[in-house]
Structure 1
Amino acid sequence: MKVLIYSKDYDTVKKSGVGKAIDHQIEALKLVGCDFTLDEKDDFDLVHINTILPGAVHFASKARKMGKKVVYHGHSTMEDFKNSFIFSNQIAPLFKKWLVYAYRKGDLVLTPTEYSKNILATYGLNRPIEVVSNGIDLDFWKKGPKDRENFYKKYGLNPEKKSIISVGLPIKRKGIDDFIRLAARMPEYEFVWFGKLDRALMSPEIKKEMEDRPDNFHAPGYVDSEDLREAYAGSNLYAFLTHEETEGIVLLEALATKAQILIRDIEIFEDGFVDGENIYKGRNLDDFERKIKGILEGHLANLSEVAYKKAKEKSIEKTGARLIELYERTMKNEINI
């Protein structure tokens, strides 16, 4: 069995979570010794498609006509498309129709969590849906001895202040508005947001928040994985204030670096994450402010070692083994709705 990881539109998505997922799949298949290619001109038995751009959807149709098996990865839902770009809420119903059209091209639909599987199950795809985590490379996301020094120096942070970071597109769904408001409430800390979006795609609300941001809020934009690793490991707290996710690769990264973590208390994190036991959760600005101060001032216990176990459950090796299992079952027509 030879697998094609469709990557013709990789450059378009490489700075997003979908791009990271493709990177993880490539690494996972290498680790488990799966025969794969990135060149659609090569011979292959099964194609794994991660994007919903027109070229990818067309290639899925072409592969089916060639008699190849198609695995379509459901990274996106209408629910996580809302509150993202300008006019995203207005066009969300059309986006859902496109998702359904694209995902029905697959013999199998993959999605990262049971939560996102339950959402896709309501779309009427009439396709089997299986769960496989995007996975995390535990060897890469490790703390280094100079991470804090490098992180503070690189972004001009005040070494006398503790720091909170977040990672993602600067959109409302990711919670950047709350992150900026927390920075204004707590000038005694440094706040750093990693992620970039063309200003033309930003909602008016987020543009205004960015323009009015306080001096202790920093926005370096998009950075590579090594810089991110330093930031997770060199900061004092990772705050994931997202309102909706299918998994959240950035959370896995933070868990793997043994960062202290605060997340929004939303449905996807109900399974496996318990407030005060293996992670901290908040529902609103007052919750977040109280938890941040409790964590950074040592009034709340450090849960980073306990939380790391969640990252170990989703190692990239386990993702590779799961992918091969699902590929083989798809080739044998063993997966049913």
Structure 2
Amino acid sequence: MKILLYLEGENFLRKSGIGRAILHQKRALDIAGVDYTTDPHDDFDIAHINTYGIKSLMLIFRAKRMGKKVICHGHSTMEDFRNSFVGSNVLAPLVKKYLTFLYSQADMIITPTDYSKKLIASYGVKAPIVAISNGIDLSKYKKSTVKELAFKQHFDIKDGEKVVMCAALYFKRKGIDDFVAVAKRMPDVRFIWFGETNLWTVPGWVRRLVKKNHPSNAEFPGYIKGDIYEGAMTASDAFFFPSHEETEGIVVLEALASDQNVVARDIPVYAGWLDNSAATLVKTNDDFVSALSDTISGKIDKRDRGYQVAESRSIENISTLLVAAYTRLLNQQ
């Protein structure tokens, strides 16, 4: 069995959750000892398509002509396209039609959660849909003094200084306006937003929010990976994720794997795998301020249960589920 893992527009998507997801797929197949390629001109048995562009669609058609099985990964929905780029809300219904057409070409769809499975099924897609988490590499997010020092030195974090972090693109969907509003109400805490988006692709108010319309304790350092980012995950006082819509939320898994307290918006995607025993899920800015204050002060500590959730979605566990899905598909006549 040989799998083609395909990611169109890698340079554009490497900073996104989809970019992280394909890295997790590679790691999962390495663990399982399953051969894979990223070159669509190689031989393969299953094409596992992670993207939605014209090249992805053409590859699906070519694979089908060759008699190969095709999996489309349901990373995206109309719902999580809204409130992102300029014009996204106008284009959302067209995106839904296109995704429905593309997903309908697949022999199987893999999507990260039961929530995204229900959304895709509601579009009228008839292909089998399997919910398998994007997974998390637990070893990568273990507490490290070296990584924490790299984070603290990079941001000049003083002893006793309180830090709340987030990681996301510059989208309204990600709750960037609420992140700034909450930071404004907690001036003694540093709020650091990891991640970036080309500012000319997002609405003007988001651009201005990132450039100047935020309090001095809110920081937007851009896309940072490696030791600094991983050190921030373990050394911060809380991970704050006010996103309105996700198909899973890989950064939430990263925070849980970092043994970090998570404060997030209570949205449907978490149903069935993340609840208030493992993270603090609330809905309003008042609740965010209260939850973050209680977390920073030590009144709330859900790290042990949160880490157990990350363990349940480890790359090792996901590897087994992925291989089972591939095998089931190959055995279908």
TM range (shorter): over 0.9
Q: Find the aligned partners of 2:60 and 2:9 in 1 and give their Cα distance.
A: 13
Matches within 5 A, 1:299-318: 299-300=299-300, 302-318=301-317
- The answer as to whether partners of 2:109 and 2:130 remain within 8 angstroms in 1 is yes
| Inter-partner Cα distance in structure 1 for 2:8 and 2:24 | 16
Letter of the 2:303 counterpart: S
- TM-score w.r.t. the length of structure 2 is 0.96
> Residues 255 and 4 (structure 1 numbering): CA distance in 2 closer, same or farther, change over 3 Å?
same
Aligned to 1:260: 261
Deviations 1:249-284 (A, max 9, x none): 000000001011101111112323332x22112211
Identity of aligned residues (%): 39
Within 1, Cα distance between the matches of 2:207 and 2:159? 29
- 2:4 alignment counterpart: 4
Counterparts of 2:316 and 2:286, CA distance in 1: 39
Residue equivalent to 2:223: 222
Does the CA contact (< 8 Å) of 2:189 and 2:217 recur in 1?
yes
Counterpart contact for 1:151–1:235, Cα < 8 Å: no
**Matched residues in 1 for 2:162 and 2:203: separation?**
30
Aligned to 1:89: 89
8 Å CA contact 2:150–2:227 kept in 1: the answer is no
- CA gap of 1:6–1:273, structure 2 versus 1, over 3 A, is closer
Q: CA deviation at 1:169?
A: 0.2
- Report the Cα distance in structure 1 between the residues aligned to 2:204 and 2:158, rounded to whole angstroms: 31
Paired with 2:241 and 2:8, the residues of 1 have a C-alpha distance of 31
Cα distance in 2 for partners of 1:73, 1:202 equals: 25
* 1:320 and 2:319 matched: yes
CA distance in 2, matches of 1:111, 1:246: 8
Residue in structure 2 matched with residue 196 of structure 1 by the alignment: 196
RMSD of the alignment, in Å? 1.4
Structure 1: give runs of 5+ residues left out of the alignment.
Answer: none
Give the C-alpha shift of residue 313 in structure 1: 0.4
Superimposed CA distance per residue, residues 172-204 of structure 1 (whole angstroms, 9 cap, x where no aligned partner): 111111111111111100000001111111112
Q: Distance in 1 between matches of 2:156 and 2:145?
A: 19
Q: Name 1:43's counterpart in structure 2.
A: 43
Equivalent runs, 1:1-337 vs 2, <5 Å: 1-7=1-7, 9-210=9-210, 211-275=212-276, 277-300=277-300, 302-333=301-332
The separation in 2 between residues aligned to 1:227 and 1:263, in whole angstroms, is 22
Once the two structures are TM-superposed, the CA of residue 127 in structure 1 deviates from its matched residue by 0.9
- SS at 2:253 equivalent: helix
Deviation track 1:185-228 (CA, whole Å, cap 9, x = no partner) reads 11100000001111111112322322211111111101124332
Aligned-pair distance for 1:11? 2.5
C-alpha displacement at 1:331, in angstroms?
1.1
1:272 aligned partner, one-letter code = W
Structure 2: tracts of 5 or more residues without a match: none
Residue 148 of structure 1 and its aligned partner are, at CA, apart by 3.6
Q: SS state of the match for residue 140, structure 2? A: coil
Q: Which moved more, 1:318-327 or 1:307-316?
A: 318-327
Contact 1:3 1:35 in 2 (8 A): yes
**In structure 1, the residue corresponding to 2:109 is in which secondary structure?**
strand
SS at match of 2:173: helix
1:119 partner SS: helix
Q: Tell me the CA shift for residue 152 of structure 1.
A: 2.2
Q: Are 2:8 and 2:53, in contact at CA under 8 Å, matched by a contact in 1?
A: no
TM-score (norm 1): 0.95
Within 1, Cα distance between the matches of 2:156 and 2:76?
35
Moved over 4 A (4+): none
Distance 1:124 1:306 in 2: 37
